[in-house]
């Protein structure tokens, strides 16, 4: 199955015309992230039939030159944000990987779907596109991965991500959860939680190729990030 099929099914179930109108106006009149042609990068770099892991974020980074359509990832050359820095710190402690850019395309190509539950944001205004319709769309995406895939690891950091557990069939998928890696909460249980090795242990136990968390790939410049 392909994402296009999933998108078609979702659009047959829900009317997104109000959200489309909102975004059309927002992109025409304000600074919105990510760039329009990058909104769906998470799906572009992780084909549906290759999804092994889902990491849920909330909404895109709202500073310039950061968001490019994948949760927690920033464009190459951009300063690594605090939550991602903490993710990298745990990565070193857990599996010994040192990463040098904030761009997570390598993870996406390994089968990690980096999904923000709200997929656009206005510059400088965190959560500004909450409630415009993205949650309906991304809930359906989570449900589709749960329904049509087998033995996927869902990594859910923080309460908003964990609120999606009812959408996931825990009989055939695995959930890893902890507090969020943000500086406000990372010391309350994120550090030492070993999400990367636990993910790979589960995948290997189900005869699935583990994730190479060390893989670094920089998007082709011609893709305009």
Extents of the domains making up the chain: 3-206
For residue 196, how many other CB atoms are within 10 A of its CB? 23
Closest CA to 30 of 142, 138, 121, 133: 121
Give pLDDT tens digits for 150-199. Answer: 999 999 999 999 999 999 999 999 999 999 999 989 999 999 999 999 99
pLDDT given at position 218 = 72
- Long-range contacts of the stretch 1-8 (C-beta < 8 A, 24+): 1/48, 1/49, 1/148, 2/47, 2/48, 2/49, 3/43, 3/47, 3/48, 5/48, 6/48, 6/140, 6/141, 6/144, 6/148
Give the architecture (CATH level 2) of 3-206: 3-Layer(aba) Sandwich (3.40)
Give pLDDT tens digits for 104-148. Answer: 999 999 999 999 999 999 999 999 999 999 999 999 999 999 999
The question of whether 59 is a catalytic residue gets the answer yes
Annotated catalytic residue within 20, 21, 59, 65 = 59
The β-bridge relationship of strands 174-178 and 32-33 is unpaired
- Report d(CA 35, CA 68) in Å as an integer: 7
Give pLDDT tens digits for 20-68. Answer: 999 999 999 999 999 999 999 999 999 999 999 999 999 999 999 999 9
pLDDT given at position 146 = 98
């Amino acid at each position: 199955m392909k994402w296009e099929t999933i998108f078609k099914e979702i659009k047959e179930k829900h009317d997104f015309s109000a959200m489309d109108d909102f975004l059309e106006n927002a992109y025409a009149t304000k600074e919105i992230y990510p760039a329009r042609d990058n909104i769906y990068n998470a799906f572009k770099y992780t084909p549906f039939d290759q999804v092994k892991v889902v990491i849920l974020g909330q909404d895109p980074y709202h500073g310039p030159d950061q968001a490019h359509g994948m949760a927690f990832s920033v464009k190459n050359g951009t300063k690594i944000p605090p939550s991602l820095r903490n993710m990298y710190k745990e990565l070193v402690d857990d599996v010994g990987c040192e990463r040098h850019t904030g761009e997570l395309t390598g993870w996406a190509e390994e089968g990690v779907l980096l999904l923000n539950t709200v997929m656009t944001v206005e510059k400088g205004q965190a959560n500004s596109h909450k409630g415009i319709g993205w949650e309906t769309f991304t809930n359906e995406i989570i449900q589709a991965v749960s329904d049509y895939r087998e033995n996927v690891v869902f990594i859910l950091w923080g309460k908003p991500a964990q609120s999606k557990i009812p959408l996931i069939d825990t009989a055939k998928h695995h959930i890893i959860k902890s507090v969020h890696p943000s500086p406000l909460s990372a010391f309350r249980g994120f550090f030492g939680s070993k999400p990367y090795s636990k993910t790979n242990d589960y995948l290997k136990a189900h005869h699935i190729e583990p994730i190479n968390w060390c893989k670094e790939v920089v998007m082709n410049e011609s893709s305009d990030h």
